[in-house]
Each structure stands twice: as structure tokens, then as C-alpha cells.
Amino acid sequence: VTGDGGGPAEADQLRRLAVATLDGNWEHDHTVPSRTLYPHQWSWDSAFIAIGLAHIRPERAWQELRTLFAAQWADGRMPHIVFNPRLRVEAYFPGPEFWGSDRADDAPAAATSGIVQPPVHALAAWLVHRRAPSAASRAALAELYPALVAQQRYLAERRDVAGGGLACVVHPWESGLDNSPAWDEPMAAVPADAAVMRAYTRHDTVHADAAHRPTDLDYARYLAMVESYREHRYRDDDLARWHPFLVECPLFNAARGAAEHALADIATVIGVDPAPHRDRARRITEALVGRLFDPVTGTFQPRDVRADRLVPARTALGLTPLILPDLPPRQAAAVVTEACSARFGLAPRMDRPLPSHDRTASDFEPLRYWRGPSWMNLNWLLWRGLRSHGRPDLAAGLRRSMIDLVAGAGCHEYFHPDTGAGLGSAAFGWTAALLLDALA
């Protein structure tokens, strides 16, 4: 998977595969991440997918974002799943009846989950416009802008539990990296019993190998966290008093910062003052550096707010603040050093794909989901960061590795971090979409 071939013929063939994958996952007015495992609309998937659609079907890219934002809550929260009412209950677990969003004051008419995902949507909207600027794309930006601002305001005002300028995730699903070793320590404090899962039927393990997915004990805790939040009708008052899992995630907060940069650009295009966005972006970057950068390890680590300490696991989450264009040179250099270490193996010519977790760690698992396998979205975020921080050599190596992954295995959900073999869903939306962006 590491060849450096790849002429125009290979690129054309890969593009055709990516387009077929996205077309196959298109469902009326949005794209599903996967027809089997994830048949509804997912929040951050749709943002990544829009970035890819911009290269082939820009109207669909805007439709993707519009459909998602139609399910925004009145408090500004963007739910992580918007359920398709046409699907059977068995299509996905936990489904709408488990979430019970209809009992929350701020929920929309559509059935949704009550938690969020990393806010990469403003960046996506900006990139979709920039790909093919037109009167229509400017109108779409103007239409989405208030919703994007409300999304950011919700996170800044309702989720800054520690008051230090960073938003907390209240569930590992909110980070997008569900079973990352980053969450093991804070999750250990969540009461749960694997027997809980006997009352439910998991559907993920019907479509994917159970050995590649989170465990039943993980799921028991995931459900316990949803139950805690749902009992409070998804309100965020006094979270510290009653919720068992509160963590400041580097990727989630870097996405917030990147969103403010994107909103500043969007504001300029639609004739709004960009200064407040630039100001907020600066403050988020300062808070990230102040609260999550560990000068001893030289990397960014999540902060467990309940225990008030940094989580020691060194996962790929720690590399993602590089997407902030204003990350100070000292931290940017430290992230690059970490990425190029034996833990992640980034190089101008990579001999193995970028893993999602430190490959030298004892809890590295090459097959299990976010505990080792390589993921296109993490590759893409780091690729973007490397370009904006003046490392085209490393960016080129990573880009080649991303293309080789799909050339070798197809548009899989994730990939074996040694062999590049395809894992999880075989026709995964954001893999196809971000490949199109890498090929452009």
C-alpha cells in the first residue's frame, strides 16, 4: 500500500469509485455514512461528505448541510444523529425511542439524538463555497451562517463546564472517536454492568466483526451516559453536579477554533463583521494551549474535568490541534515531532498508514475501531494542518498514504494500520468524500 505510483489513470479510477460510493449512499436529501452500519444521517459525517460532494455535485453538498441543519435544536445544539423516519426500528441501535428527544424542550420535530459531534460544519461550508464560488454558494453561506453561529454559541455557553474556555463532551460518541483509549480512564468512573446489554440487541455487531467494535461493557457505559443526560431532558444546567463523564477533547475544541476561523471568512463574504469570530478563535487556541497541552509529553491530551487531570493516553486526538492556523509555532512543532515519532510514523514517504492510537502503547489494538486502525478523517485533518503550518513534505507523504489506502482496499470505514487491509463498512461516505478532496 505504499507505492508511489498513481498516475492519472489510477486517480480517475479512484474518483469513479468514490463517486459511486457517495451516489450509493445518497438518500433523498442526505448521505448515509454506510447503508448497513449507519443508515441515518450523522452530523460530522455529513460535514466531511459535503467537502467531497463539492468536487462532484455542489448542489448536493449544500443540500447535505441544509438537511442536517433543519434538525438543529432551538438551543443551537446540532444533534449527532438525525433519524430517518422511513426506516425500521431495527435499523440502528440506539434508535429514536431510546433517545426520547421528543421529551426535551428544545428538540425539533424530527427525531434526533440529544448529543453532538465535533463542529466541523463551518469549515465544511467554507470549503464547499471556496471550491466553486458563485451567487448560489454565497446565498447558501448567508442562509447557514446564523445556524453555524448558534451551534458555536451553544458549545461556548452551555458546555464550558470548567469555565476555562473549552467545551466538554458529555459522551465519548460526541468526540467521534467512540472507544479511543483516551476515554478509558474517565469512562471507568461511569457505573455500568455488561449485563445491561442483555436487555438490548446491538445491531452493529450484526454488520461488523464484534472483535473490531467497542465491547459490551463499553456499550453498557455508553447507554448509562445517555440515560443520565436523557433523565435531565438533555439540559446542561449544573452538569458537574450530576453527569458522570465530562471531558475536554483536543479535537472537539480544535474543531470549534477552526469553525471560528471559517466563520470569519464566511462573515467577510456575506458582509458581516468577522472580528468577533477572529477574537473567539484566538481565545479558543489560547485555552487549548493553556489547558490541554502537556509540556512534559509535548502533546495535547484530553482533560478529565471531573478528576481535573490530563488523560495520559497519547492518541491521534493529540495531533489534531494542528488544524488551527494560529497554533503557536512551539506547539505546532511539538505536534509534528509527536506525529513523526515511532508512535504515529508520519514521514515524507510513509511505510505504514497513520494509526488512530500510539502504536507503541500496550493497549494499541490494530483491528479495534478507534484503538489503532487508520481513519481517513484523522488523516485528512492532519494533512490540512501540515499544509497550513508549512510542512508540504509531510503533507505529501500523508496524502499519498491516504490515496494508497483506498487504492489498496476500497472506500472502507477504517484500515489496518500495518497492512492497510479494509475494515468495517466497505462503502463508507467520508472515506470516499475525503479521498475526492485529496485527489483534487
Catalytic residues: 178, 413
Piece of 38-46, 59-67, 161-169, 392-400 that binds ligand 9WN (CB under 6 A): 38-46
Residue 226, Cα to own-chain centre: how many angstroms?
A: 19
Which CB atom, from 165 or from 181, has the smaller least distance to ligand 9WN?
181
39 binds ligand 9WN (CB under 6 A): no
33 binds ligand 9WN (CB under 6 A): yes
Piece of 102-110, 171-179, 230-238, 356-364 that binds ligand 9WN (CB under 6 A): 171-179
44 binds ligand 9WN (CB under 6 A): yes
Which CB atom, from 174 or from 248, has the smaller least distance to ligand 9WN?
174
Strand order in the sheet with 303-304: 168-169, 247-248, 303-304, 309-310
Residue 378, Cα to own-chain centre: how many angstroms?
A: 8
Decide if 375 contacts 435 (C-beta within 8 A): no
145 binds ligand 9WN (CB under 6 A): no
Single residue of 1, 45, 156, 223 touching ligand 9WN by CB under 6 A:
45
- Convert residues 271-290 into a mask of x (bound to ligand 9WN by CB under 6 A) and - (unbound): --------------------
- Least separation, in Å, of the C-beta of 9 and ligand 9WN? 31
126 binds ligand 9WN (CB under 6 A): no
Instruction: Identify the CA nearest to 256 among candidates 347, 106, 149, 331.
Output: 149
Which CB atom, from 178 or from 358, has the smaller least distance to ligand 9WN?
178
176 binds ligand 9WN (CB under 6 A): yes
Q: Which residue is nearest to ligand 9WN (CB)?
A: 33
- Least separation, in Å, of the C-beta of 42 and ligand 9WN? 4
- Least separation, in Å, of the C-beta of 188 and ligand 9WN? 20
Single residue of 26, 42, 245, 380 touching ligand 9WN by CB under 6 A:
42
- Which residues ranging from 395 to 414 are in contact with ligand 9WN (CB under 6 A)? none
Which CB atom, from 58 or from 214, has the smaller least distance to ligand 9WN?
214
- Convert residues 71-90 into a mask of x (bound to ligand 9WN by CB under 6 A) and - (unbound): ---------x----------
- Least separation, in Å, of the C-beta of 113 and ligand 9WN? 8
183 binds ligand 9WN (CB under 6 A): no
Which CB atom, from 178 or from 437, has the smaller least distance to ligand 9WN?
178
Piece of 96-104, 156-164, 172-180, 252-260 that binds ligand 9WN (CB under 6 A): 172-180
48 binds ligand 9WN (CB under 6 A): no
Residues of this chain that interact with ligand 9WN (CB under 6 A) are 33, 38, 42, 44-45, 80, 173, 176, 178, 204
